[in-house]
Amino acid sequence: MPQTPHVERHFTAGDRVRDVVIGMSDGLTVPFALAAGLSGAVASSRLVVTAGFAEVAAGSIAMGLGGYLAARGDAEHYASELAREEQEIRDVPEIEVAEVANVLSRYGVGAADAQTIATAMRQRPEQWRDFMMRFELGLEAPDPKRALQSALTIAVAYVLGGLIPLSPYLAFSSAQAALRSSVIVTLVALIVFGYIKGKFTGTGPLRSAIQTAVIGSLAAAAAFAIARAIS
């Protein structure tokens, strides 16, 4: 009797989604707070748009650079630990064999079997090293393109998010009228963004939409209050 092949569906784009979330979340809240604060001090939307676009440009560069440096830091940390593990395998192989056995024992492998596997790994130093990196240190080999991709993803997401709360200021000449529309547009964007994020990550679209809207609204409200107090 033919059987339907088993297909495992796992979400594998966590890093990229995280970058989009970081960029979009800040892009939706920070420019909104700036525009809202300025709306209480100036009457013309043109000044708000100018300041808002300047903030979006600066913010996207800063956020993208932060993502790049973070990814580069992860890659450098991995390379450093990789070199250290290779040296330990060369200099103190007996200790490394004992560490392999200890790791395997945590997964329920018996002492005799663990020792046999650990001893066999000495015949394959590269696989031995990779095993220790993953299961002893919990480190995965980073994608060499990760740093640039992270920077671009965060920067683009920030720009796209920042344009949403600023768009009403392009349609209304009055800053106060634009602010009311910006509040509605930004709240809807947060809900939609949270729903889509939940669909991708499998955490529940409705719950994700509510959480994103609440957290984003609180962050925007706090930033708005600070901006108004300063202005």
Q: Rounded mean pLDDT of the chain?
A: 82
Confidence of residue 227 (pLDDT cuts 50, 70, 90): low
pLDDT computed for residue 3 by the predictor: 54
DSSP label at residue 136: I
pTM of the model: 0.76
Is residue 36 within 8 Å of residue 229, measured between CB atoms?
no
- Alpha carbons 133 and 208: distance in angstroms, whole number: 34
Helix (H) / strand (E) element for 190: namely helix 175-201
- Is the pLDDT confidence value at 166 over 80? yes
Q: What are the beta bridge partners of residue 44? A: 174
Which of 217, 224, 159, 168 lies closest to 191 in space, CA to CA?
217
- Is the pLDDT confidence value at 62 over 70? yes
- Alpha carbons 190 and 86: distance in angstroms, whole number: 47
Q: Give percent of the chain with pLDDT exceeding 70.
A: 90
Domain range annotation of the chain: 15-75+144-230
User: Reduced to 3 states, what is the DSSP secondary structure of residue 62?
Assistant: helix
pLDDT digits (tens, 9 = 90+) for 67-117: 999 988 988 888 888 888 888 888 887 888 888 888 888 877 777 777 788
- Is the pLDDT confidence value at 1 over 50? no
